[in-house]
Amino acid sequence: MKAVYIVEPGKVEIREIEKPVRKPGEALLKVLYGGICGSDLGSYRGTFAYFDYPRIPGHEFSAEIVEVDEDNEYGLKNGMVVTCNPYFNCGTCYSCQKGLVNACMDNQTMGCQRDGAFCEYITMPLERIFDGKGIPAKVLAAIEPFCIGYHGIQRAGIKKGDKVLVVGSGTIGVLAAIAAKALGGEVYMADVAKAKLDYAMESFGFAGTILNDGPDALDKATKEITGSININGNEAAYGFDVCIEAVGLPSTFQNCIDAAAFGGKVVIIGVGKKNLDFNFTMIQKKELDVYGSRNAMNKDFIELIDIVKEGGVNLEKVITDEYPYEEAAKALEDFSTNGADMLKVILDFTK
């Protein structure tokens, strides 16, 4: 079979490799669509923290079951179109013992710490496979990134009426914003890319957007949106109840700390490799709750498949670009160069 490899930063190859053979308790899957994640893009650029070369990328995907044990306990059958939980946990570390398998101390995510799904066939343990319940295969490939945003939003405990700032209007940021809006949040998105902000507003109708194109832009907008107070001659913004970091840069983490209200919450979803030197006492001064959010849980996949199936969210609007998998090198190069104008990029393995 054929597989997509990122051989080194900036270099992609299509290689011929052995088709996998399933073991008992696994299913053989024919990959249908694969979504290019920000982590895949970071791996292509050489900026992602959890990637070794060469490796098959990809952990957002839909697939068809072509071989599975009959009468298995999960009700999986040949011909079923599915998606999967791609975060492999060790099962024995302290986090796993507590049931926090998404935060496994030896986590191995497909396409990051182990080979991924950008190939014609893969095998998966049955407990990681979820029936797509008739959701179109292309849309089903976007369930995993939706889970990432959804899990982070749940960490924040958003209540109806909370003013929520999402920094980053890429796929994860948009999907986190959708989840926050569904929970009753008054959601604003901030980014340096106007085209992405405009698309997000047009497609999903958030409360507003902030073009973060200067050193004072976010602070000015925060004061206008949340209100402000004069303290010792200085105007200070009230701030957002919840700030979601969905980029993975030191500057965007600082944006969230600065824009959060006293007693507010900050959730870090973005992944980066750079350090930030900042006045950490601001966390104490504002009494901020700062949460990390890593991966997602099986229940997130199950809940979101039902939400999308019932028409609660139109995930198809997130998909802006599609390439045959043989053009993976072009897809990654285009995404790297023109990312400000692209949201979710999909590779087609069906033809």
Domains of the chain: 2-141+314-348 (3.90.180.10), 149-292 (3.40.50.720)
Q: Residue 41: what are its φ and ψ, rounded to 5°?
A: -65, -40
Give the confidence band of 45 by pLDDT, cuts at 50, 70, 90: very high
CA 289 to chain centre: 22
Q: Which residues contact 68 (CB under 8 A, 6 or more apart)?
A: 22, 27, 28, 76, 77, 78, 126
pTM above 0.75, yes or no: yes
In this prediction, residue 2 has a pLDDT band, given cuts at 50, 70 and 90, of very high
Cα separation, 186 vs 170, whole angstroms: 19
Distance (Å, rounded) from C-alpha 62 to C-alpha 36?
13
Judged against a pLDDT cut of 80, whether residue 49 lies above it is answered with no
pLDDT at 340 exceeding the cut of 90: no
Report, as an integer, the average pLDDT of 268-280: 89
Average pLDDT, the chain: 95
Give the pLDDT confidence score for residue 288 in this predicted structure.
98
Over residues 123-139, mean pLDDT:
97
> Is residue 248 predicted with pLDDT exceeding 80?
yes
Report the half-sphere exposure of 128 (CA within 13 A, side-chain side). 25
Mean pLDDT value of segment 292-307: 96
The pLDDT score that the predictor gives to residue 47 is: 84
332: which residues sit within 8 A by CB, 6+ positions away?
6, 12, 36, 40, 41, 44
Per-residue confidence band for 8, with pLDDT thresholds at 50, 70 and 90 = very high
Task: Assess whether pLDDT exceeds 90 at residue 109.
Answer: yes
Percent of the chain with pLDDT over 70: 100
